[in-house]
Structure 1
Amino acid sequence: MLNSFVCNELVLMCIVISCVSARNLWDYSTDNPKKTLFDEKNKDHWRIQAQWTLKNKIQTSLNTKYAKNVILFLGDGMSITTLAATRVYLGQKYGGLGEELKLSFEVFPYTGLAKTYCVDNNVADSACSGTAYLSGVKANSGTVGLSGAVKRGDCEGQRQGTHSVTGLIDWAQNAGKATGVVTTTRVTHATPAASYAHSADRKWESDTDQPKNGEQCDDIATQLVNGKVGSKINVIFGGGRKNFLPKTFKDIEGNRGHRSDGKDLIKEWLRKKTSYGVSAKYIYNRKELLNLEPVFTNVLGLFSPDHMPYHIEAGDDDPALSEMVVKAIDILSKNKNGFFLFVEGGRIDTAHHETKARKALDETAEFAKAVEAALRIVDNDETLIIVTSDHSHTMSYSGYSKRGTDILGFVNKSNATDRFPYTTLNYANGPGYKPEEDSHRHNLTLDDLSNPNYTYPSLVPIPRETHGGEDVAVYAKGPWAHIFSGNYEQNFIPHAIAYAACIGPGLTSCTF
């Protein structure tokens, strides 16, 4: 059975036909009424599709209600190119051509473009961009939760606290809302860390990661457990268990911790929650997640010692992103004041860095599935949902292939002067560079493109593919979604969210 987000186009066309009178339908089909309206070669197919889109847009009313709940979905490294390729990947997976597909969030009524550069770099990393779209202040590359006045590695600048910036999680907590962070990476990785931590270096995830000589700053894991904002987060789901356990300790799966200070931060987290007088539980696998009793209002789920495995490689003990999202919403919804939930599909980015396009597209499909799962269980009238990315990547989508050509395969109309085939998806740089002794291009027909770990071709040889500097898409649905239209700086996003949800120190819809 097709997933519902795969069926969106079919559903939309069915709505079109049901809304058009028999007379109008005949008027559109006078050339040949017997033609099927789902045939792309039939001009009526495109006319009706466009008319439905037009009708839907002009009939969409502005929702200016108070956003009781907010979910910010972030596809790390989810470029517009990645979205276009994922549509085809999914469509072909379920027997279609693919390009006609829309992902779950691509049917949202409002779309914008966000500019992603850092204060010091023209191409963003996940730390400075995370600070921008979670706190509303642009920062330097490699820094988390600090203004551009602090350079990467400046421990003293972090310790001073003068340049620390707070954002959506803190503002929501101050408004009495429940808060949560869900990710497929380590929960201390740059993107989730930007929601609660202040660190002069994104790599300072545990005390072991800090410089051996010189000043010591609070590491990111410590700030999640004991920090002013981190300690009050209700739901934390993701990977990175090793950063919470000492090196001398093995977790229940036999993996050693990474901390040098001997602290067991999981136990500290439980003690901290007890001191707050709340019900709390630590879980570590999918079974515990799915069987979680509804009495717990605070849950720490660390499902892997490092990043969570790619969906393609996940086992029975590894929860899917959609499962974590559904459980998080279930827990956070108990708060009568509403909630703010931040969700990251983080392994889209790591797959791109490895130029493993198949994994990147599959992770994007899983991300879209998580958005769809959330849409099914929230009240869309009072829940603002934003879907965006932090930065782009260098993957390109090119050639003149016929419809239906495998998106992860070769261009079927290769016009290369060396007469060697080339793939539809390629990278500007990265580990996929394959040199040949005679200076000719590598013959890709010798490679196994069906292997999920296949590194797609890249032009420049570097160990890790870089990010891209172009704008990223922002999709919005729910209260005040229309204010996310247009082109703007990435740091505008949290200000707009705060306006809709009546949180934070700035202008809000409740006071305007």
Structure 2
Amino acid sequence: MFRLTLTSSIAMALCTGTAWSQVLPQEQSEYFTAGRDLIAERVALQPNTNKARNVILFVADGMGVGTNYGIRLYKGQQEGGLGEEYNLPHDLFPHSSLIKTYNINAQTPDSAPTAGAFNTGVKQVFNTINMTEDVLVDQCGTGTPLTTFAEMVSEEGKSVGVISTARVTHATPAAAYAKTQSRNWEAEAPEGCSDIATQMIDAVEAGTVDFVMGGGARAFAPEGADIGNGLIGSRSDDVDLIARARDLDVSVATSMEEANAIDLTIDAPVIGLFAGSHMAYEHDRPESELSLADMTGKAIEYLGKNEDGFYLEVEAGRVDHANHDGNAHRTFTDGVAFVEAIQTAIDTTDPEETLIIVTADHEHAIVFNGYCGRGTPITGLCHDIASGQVAHSDELVMGSDNKPFTVVTFGNGPGSILIEQEDGTFSGSRPDLTQEEVLDPDYLQQALIPASSESHSGVDVALWAQGPWAHLFGGTMDQEAIFHVMNHAVFGQTE
């Protein structure tokens, strides 16, 4: 006699769509009910196939899956939780994908061509921005300029904004408007080529870019020129791009006070330059500088008055720099500032008409170590798992050298345990660490390979999306596919 097994019963219930009628012992678990409720939401979810009026592309430079994990735990712990259970706003977006990050000629990518891929739909050459693949790095006149998404949407009457906590002429923001054989030509370029700062003002004059905020004021004024609020120019060609912008009736701000005084209901372009080079890390941000959320809110208020909609690229550029420094505290605090900017966009736009994409250009050589217990401080030492309780124990996890270690380390960087000796060789061992020492905001995480600046990583990054046509993201995709989703959402075509 055939006897129906428990496994067979579950399989039949799933295949026929009938509900499982027996009470499961796990049904009292909050994890079970949360999972069940989530699936119910997903079952009811319908694809949004509206034409996108607005597109907002959030890029946390250097925020791969690992860095996003660290930001999540840091934010959750700052709010009084254990951290692991916390969800960042984009974690809850209904659609996601893994994104490959390699460049045409590089396994480990650079920010310029990766951001260029977002904005043009093709992979690009390391250290170049928005040029065809026959370009030669640092060689003026090689390659052919590509058409950017900003140019495409501005032709259709949309407004365009670019925001960054880095210099606005830096790789990722520049990819929204510039085309160059070298990402380093921010304030000067060989004869016959145009520097990136000049290209930005050209784009503003052409109506391709309407709103810019970030750092990098020095590239827009002659060397030694007083830009205002303590900012000094550094251009060697005596060209005053600030004066040119004002002649174009652009509203220019160099401080929070000046930015707050700008009438955002006007149609004239807006440029805010709040630091000579990069803006400060969020941990160190002075009162004269706006937060990334502040800049995002102003951009949406300004751009949103266009009935045809807008494209806004928002970069948390200094997440990348803190990783390069090997400083987990500033990586995660700038990550939290990025999260707050995302929440601002969610709160001030309509998901029925606004496609919001959150991603990164690349990851870093960041490592999360050990079998740590729940709630272990993400920037601190690894605590052991406790028996009979959820939170971690008071005991620290030790390495084979009988020394504690931080949850976060780096594969390479300035915090290397290998120290150069007088004869040029490197040697060393891990020092003892205390919780007080490693929780200091200035502490540099231990690294293995010595390097003055920690490197990028070539691993996939994550992407999260909501809004019109966000469901086109899924599986593992190449980086340039982001452009093609944005293109389809706005224009209804992929060619």
Q: Normalised by the size of structure 2, how large is the TM-score? A: 0.88
Match of 1:288 in 2: 258
Counterparts of 1:8-47 in structure 2, within 5 Å, are 43-47=28-32
Structure 2: state its 5+ residue gaps: 1-18, 385-396, 422-426
**Structure 1 residues 389 and 417 mapped into 2: Cα distance closer, same or farther (>3 Å)?**
same
Pick from 302, 310, 317 the counterpart of residue 331 of structure 1: 302
Q: Distance in 2 between matches of 1:267 and 1:84?
A: 44
Q: CA deviation at 1:147?
A: 1.9
Q: Distance in 1 between matches of 2:206 and 2:333?
A: 31
Q: CA deviation at 1:287?
A: 2.1
Counterparts of 1:497-508 in structure 2, within 5 Å, are 497-502=486-491, 507=494
**Are residue 146 (structure 1) and residue 116 (structure 2) matched?**
no
Conserved? CA contact 2:398–2:405, under 8 Å = no
Q: CA deviation at 1:29?
A: 9.1
**Are residue 136 (structure 1) and residue 124 (structure 2) matched?**
no
Write the letter of the residue equivalent to 1:281: S
Count of aligned pairs: 457
Structure 1: state its 5+ residue gaps: 1-23, 32-41, 275-279
**Structure 1 residues 56 and 116 mapped into 2: Cα distance closer, same or farther (>3 Å)?**
same
Conserved? CA contact 1:142–1:201, under 8 Å = yes
Pick from 229, 243, 253 the counterpart of residue 229 of structure 2: 253
Q: Distance in 2 between matches of 1:54 and 1:229?
A: 49
**Structure 1 residues 361 and 204 mapped into 2: Cα distance closer, same or farther (>3 Å)?**
same
Conserved? CA contact 1:119–1:141, under 8 Å = yes
SS at match of 1:117: coil
Give CA-to-partner distance per residue, 1:128-154, whole Å, 9 cap, x none: 101111111111110011122112111
Q: CA deviation at 1:65?
A: 0.6
Q: CA deviation at 1:446?
A: 9.2
Q: Quote the RMSD (CA, aligned, Å).
A: 2.1
Pick from 353, 358, 375 the counterpart of residue 329 of structure 2: 358
Give CA-to-partner distance per residue, 1:430-484, whole Å, 9 cap, x none: 1111336873322233982232222111110011100011111111100111001
Q: Distance in 2 between matches of 1:415 and 1:222?
A: 54
Match of 1:467 in 2: 456
Match of 2:407 in 1: 424
Match of 1:242 in 2: 218
Q: Distance in 2 between matches of 1:440 and 1:393?
A: 23
Q: Distance in 1 between matches of 2:273 and 2:428?
A: 47
Q: CA deviation at 1:196?
A: 0.6
Q: CA deviation at 1:387?
A: 0.6
Write the letter of the residue equivalent to 1:453: D
Q: Distance in 1 between matches of 2:445 and 2:206?
A: 38
Q: Normalised by the size of structure 1, how large is the TM-score? A: 0.85
Match of 2:482 in 1: 493
SS at match of 2:228: coil
Counterparts of 1:58-137 in structure 2, within 5 Å, are 58-137=43-122
Give CA-to-partner distance per residue, 1:170-199, whole Å, 9 cap, x none: 111111101100111000001111111111
Match of 1:411 in 2: 382
SS at match of 1:448: helix
SS at match of 2:231: coil
Conserved? CA contact 2:381–2:435, under 8 Å = no
**Are residue 435 (structure 1) and residue 411 (structure 2) matched?**
no
Write the letter of the residue equivalent to 1:346: G
SS at match of 2:227: coil
Pick from 281, 301, 320 the counterpart of residue 349 of structure 1: 320
Write the letter of the residue equivalent to 1:422: F
Conserved? CA contact 1:248–1:262, under 8 Å = no
Conserved? CA contact 1:67–1:500, under 8 Å = yes
Q: Distance in 2 between matches of 1:462 and 1:229?
A: 42
Q: Distance in 2 between matches of 1:29 and 1:123?
A: 48
Q: CA deviation at 1:52?
A: 0.8
Q: Distance in 1 between matches of 2:69 and 2:265?
A: 42
Q: Distance in 1 between matches of 2:430 and 2:356?
A: 45
Q: CA deviation at 1:256?
A: 2.3
Write the letter of the residue equivalent to 2:227: D
SS at match of 2:489: helix
**Structure 1 residues 153 and 229 mapped into 2: Cα distance closer, same or farther (>3 Å)?**
farther
Q: In percent, how many aligned pairs have the same letter? A: 35
Q: Distance in 1 between matches of 2:429 and 2:224?
A: 51
Q: Distance in 2 between matches of 1:231 and 1:457?
A: 47
Q: CA deviation at 1:336?
A: 1.1
**Are residue 233 (structure 1) and residue 233 (structure 2) matched?**
no
Conserved? CA contact 1:167–1:494, under 8 Å = no
Q: Distance in 1 between matches of 2:192 and 2:326?
A: 35
